[in-house]
Amino acid sequence: MADDKSHPPDRTSGVTRRGLIKGIATAVTAASAGATALLVETRHELEAANPSGPMPVSIAVNGVARTGSFEPRTTLAEALRDSWGLTGTKVGCDRGACGACTVLLDGLAVNSCLMLVHDADGRKVTTVEGLGSPEAMAPIQKAFVEADALQCGFCTPGMVVSCAGLLAKNPSPSAYDVKEAVAGNLCRCGTYTGVFAACEAAAQGKPEVTRG
C-alpha cells in the first residue's frame, strides 16, 4: 500500500503506532488470537523505546494553534479529547476498526486513534467541531439532521467527517463513492441509508432532503 500524507513517518524515532500495527497485522493474520495481546505489548514497548518523557507538540486544530507536552505514546485522539476538550471525536475501538475517531488531517480523513499526536506535529487537523456548530452547521451536518442519518449519535461525528472529507475532494460522488468513503465507519444503530441520503443531498447542495 502506497503511503500518503495521512500516514507520515514518525519524525523522531521512525516508529509509528500504525507502522507497528501494520507489521503485527501481517504477523497475526494466521493467528488472530494473539492480536490483542501483541497490541498491548506494542504500546508498552513503544513507550519503553521512547524513554524521553513528554515532548512538545503544536498542531493547528480547527484553525486554532494547540500546543501541549505529550508522552510519545499519546494518540491524536487522546490529545484532542483529554487535553484540548474536543470530545466530539469519539473513540469506539481504539484500534482503527470502527472509524468513530475520524478527523481530517490536512484535509484527508484519518483515524485519530491510530495516529500518535507527535505524528500530527505542525499539521492541520479538523474535527467535527471545526466543521460547524449547532447554530451554524456545515451543509453535510445539516443534511445529516434532515435525513435523520443518526440514532444514538456516537458514530455520527466520524461519519460526518468521513463524508466531509469525501465531498472536499469529490464534490459529486457516486453512490458507491459514498459507501466506500464510510466503509471504515461502523454504525450499530443502522443509519447507513440516512448517511447515503445525506451525503448525496449535501453534494447536490440541497441539505433539505426528505427521505420517502
Residues near other proteins (CB under 8 A) are: 32-33, 35-36, 40, 43-44, 71, 73-74, 78, 81-82, 85-95, 97-98, 100, 127-129, 131-135, 137, 141, 144-146, 148, 150-157, 160, 178-180, 182-183, 185-196, 210-211
Q: Which is nearer to other proteins, 120 or 202 (CB)?
A: 202
Q: Which is nearer to other proteins, 16 or 185 (CB)?
A: 185
Q: Can you read off the three cell numbers belonging to residue 58?
A: 503544536
The string over 167-181, giving b where at least 16 C-beta atoms fall within 10 Å of a residue's C-beta and e elsewhere, is: beeeeebeeeebeeb
Q: Mapping DSSP to helix (H, G, I), strand (E, B) and coil, where does residue 196 land?
A: helix
Half-sphere exposure of 18 toward its Cβ, with a 13 Å CA cutoff? 23
CB of 157 to other proteins, least distance (A): 5
Q: Rg (Cα) of the chain, in Å, rounded?
A: 18
CB of 49 to other proteins, least distance (A): 15
Q: Which is nearer to other proteins, 122 or 135 (CB)?
A: 135
CB of 169 to other proteins, least distance (A): 18
Q: Mapping DSSP to helix (H, G, I), strand (E, B) and coil, where does residue 31 land?
A: coil
Distances (CA, A) of 160 to 99, 105, 128: 11, 15, 7
Q: Which is nearer to other proteins, 9 or 34 (CB)?
A: 34
Cα separation of 128 and 60, whole Å?
14
CB of 100 to other proteins, least distance (A): 6
Enumerate residues 6+ apart whose C-beta is below 8 A from 25.
35
CB of 32 to other proteins, least distance (A): 5
Q: Which is nearer to other proteins, 122 or 152 (CB)?
A: 152
CB of 165 to other proteins, least distance (A): 14
| Secondary structure (DSSP) of 59-86 | EEETTEEEEEEE-TT-BHHHIIIIIS--
Q: Which is nearer to other proteins, 76 or 86 (CB)?
A: 86
